[in-house]
């Protein structure tokens, strides 16, 4: 039988089929509902951030036990508390450019694995020196994880709800802090301080397996790095079975204007982004000075103020709980208003609240309310910075931009931890410690306001020719 006519007809029909126009990945995601698959991405990134929160709480809550068991001074714990933060900063600075080259998922999986492994090793430390080294290595792993979780989540969130989705992910940090506080209050009396670090190591190792099995690579990253269109379409079909995904090519419009030969870091530091980059670094740095000083030293501050270990732990747990409410509310507002202005105003509110807390007006119940509200303002302002940064940079340099803000900002965390150790050794009163924290909050607010200077300058340049023409 002669099959040539039938074959020719099929070839002609295939040739006549209209080709699909290139599909912009972000526009496609923006036009879809938030699917069950994106909820899975959110849940996994939420757990990564929760691991960071648990670890942050753990070192603060085991500090009193280390002081008693190892017979060391409070100042001696400063390096231990800051070691992981230094590692976090370095890990973020290194991991961001790597992730913009090899992928968000690969770096995220490896970093979570190593974070868990070193946390387990930290439970076996028997001296300040060994614990300091192990905490530094733990920080390296987690520092690489955080910016990639932010970047991956922001690239799978539709623009209309991106801020609230990224902030919802960051609620994991507050949840992890609270779980760390509650579990430490139970684990330490029964099993000792090392049990807290064991729990903080096993969780990330289990999470690593879930990330390998369930987490996708960023579709935008795959397009920018010229991955096969079929691989991009396979991921996007998990969001929706759109017929346009068949035999379709993809583009990422926000990177089309950028020179593909430029490094991600050179884009972040280019003239177009330089002012915003520096102001993001400054605001995040100042926010973390406040956040980590309170997170690491609140249990000790409350004990010095006359609270027992149990009440100090429970009072401290109110601080991160406020962040859960604040993150969601602030994210909702950021999606409907100028995100930079919203965060700046929140920093002003944080400055006011730390002053009120320092005055300690009223009884224990009122103090608990103020701690909760302070946590709401400080935590939501700091965590919302990541959504702001992710929206500020293009796909090609987004992981680097977010990572370097987190990395430089972590130096503020180190400053906060060390400043807390210094203030504790000075035996400053409760009110003085809180009142001092209004200054960095005010600086952060001013820095975010300064980000608008370049926009104002560009607007003036744009209208100047019109004004000149009218004058003529």
Domains of the chain: 23-255+262-452 (1.20.1250.20)
Which of 409, 430, 342, 418 is CA-nearest to residue 380?
A: 342
| Residue 463: predicted pLDDT | 41
| Residue 256: predicted pLDDT | 47
Compute the chain's Rg from CA coordinates: 25
| Residue 462: predicted pLDDT | 42
pLDDT exceeds cutoff 50 at 97 = yes
Contact 249, 229 (CB under 8 A): yes
Q: What counts of helices (H) and strands (E) characterise the chain?
A: 20, 2
pTM of whole model > 0.85?
A: no
Mean pLDDT of 173-200: 84
| Cα within 13 Å of Cα(138), Cβ side | 35
| Residue 17: predicted pLDDT | 41
367 or 275: whose pLDDT is higher?
A: 275
SS3 459: helix
When the pLDDT of each residue in the chain is averaged and rounded to a whole number, the result is: 82
262 or 438: whose pLDDT is higher?
A: 438
Q: What size, in residues, is the chain?
A: 472
Name the strand (E) or helix (H) holding 388: helix 364-392
Within its chain, how far is the Cα of 440 from the centroid?
20
Across-strand partners of 23?
250
Which of 175-179, 325-329, 391-395, 459-463 is predicted with the least confidence, judged by mean pLDDT? 459-463
Mean pLDDT of 356-369: 75
| Residue 13: predicted pLDDT | 41
DSSP string, 275-318: HHHHHHHHHHHHHHHHHHHHHHHHHHHHHHTT--HHHHHHHHHH
471 or 190: whose pLDDT is higher?
A: 190
pLDDT exceeds cutoff 90 at 259 = no
Per-residue pLDDT tens digits for 17-66: 445 578 888 888 988 999 999 999 999 999 999 988 888 777 777 887 88
């Amino acid at each position: 039988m002669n099959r040539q006519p039938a074959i020719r007809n099929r070839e002609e029909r295939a040739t006549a089929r209209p080709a699909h126009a290139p599909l912009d990945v972000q526009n496609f995601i923006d036009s879809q509902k938030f699917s069950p698959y994106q909820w899975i991405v959110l849940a996994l990134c939420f757990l990564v951030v929760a691991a960071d929160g648990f670890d942050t709480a753990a070192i603060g809550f085991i500090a009193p036990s280390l002081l008693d068991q190892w017979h060391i001074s409070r100042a001696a714990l400063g390096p231990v508390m800051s070691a992981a933060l230094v590692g976090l900063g370095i890990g973020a600075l290194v991991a961001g450019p790597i992730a913009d080259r090899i992928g968000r998922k690969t770096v995220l999986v490896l970093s979570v694995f190593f974070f868990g492994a070193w946390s387990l090793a930290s439970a076996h430390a028997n001296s300040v020196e060994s614990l300091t080294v192990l905490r530094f290595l733990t920080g390296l792993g987690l520092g690489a994880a955080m910016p990639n979780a932010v970047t991956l989540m922001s690239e799978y969130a539709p623009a209309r709800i991106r801020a609230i989705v990224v902030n919802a992910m960051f609620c994991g940090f507050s949840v992890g802090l609270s779980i760390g506080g509650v579990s430490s209050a139970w684990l330490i009396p029964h099993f000792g301080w090392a049990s807290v670090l064991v729990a903080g190591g096993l969780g990330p190792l289990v999470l690593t397996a879930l990330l390998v099995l369930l987490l996708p690579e960023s579709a935008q990253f795959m397009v920018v790095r010229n991955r096969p269109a079929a691989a991009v379409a396979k991921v996007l079909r998990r969001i929706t079975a759109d017929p346009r995904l068949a035999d379709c090519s993809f583009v990422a419009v926000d990177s089309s204007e950028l020179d593909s030969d430029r490094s991600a870091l050179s884009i972040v530091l280019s003239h177009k982004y330089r002012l915003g980059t520096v102001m993001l670094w400054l605001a995040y740095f100042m926010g973390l000075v406040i956040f980590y000083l309170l997170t690491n030293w609140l249990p000790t501050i409350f004990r010095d103020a006359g609270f027992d270990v149990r009440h100090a732990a429970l009072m401290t747990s109110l601080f991160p709980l406020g962040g859960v409410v604040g993150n969601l509310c602030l994210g909702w507002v950021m999606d409907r208003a100028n995100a930079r202005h919203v965060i700046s105003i929140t920093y002003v509110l944080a400055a006011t609240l730390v002053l009120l807390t320092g005055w300690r007006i009223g009884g224990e119940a009122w103090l608990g309310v103020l701690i909760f509200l302070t946590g709401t303002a400080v935590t939501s302002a700091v965590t919302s910075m990541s959504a702001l940064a992710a929206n500020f940079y293009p796909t090609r340099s987004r992981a680097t931009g977010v990572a370097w803000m987190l990395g430089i900002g972590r130096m503020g965390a180190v400053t906060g931890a060390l400043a807390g150790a210094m203030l504790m050794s000075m035996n400053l009163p409760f009110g003085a410690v809180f009142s001092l924290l209004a200054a960095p909050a005010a600086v952060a607010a001013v820095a975010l306001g300064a980000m608008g200077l370049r926009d104002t300058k560009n607007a003036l340049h744009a209208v100047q020719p019109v004004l000149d023409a009218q004058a003529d």
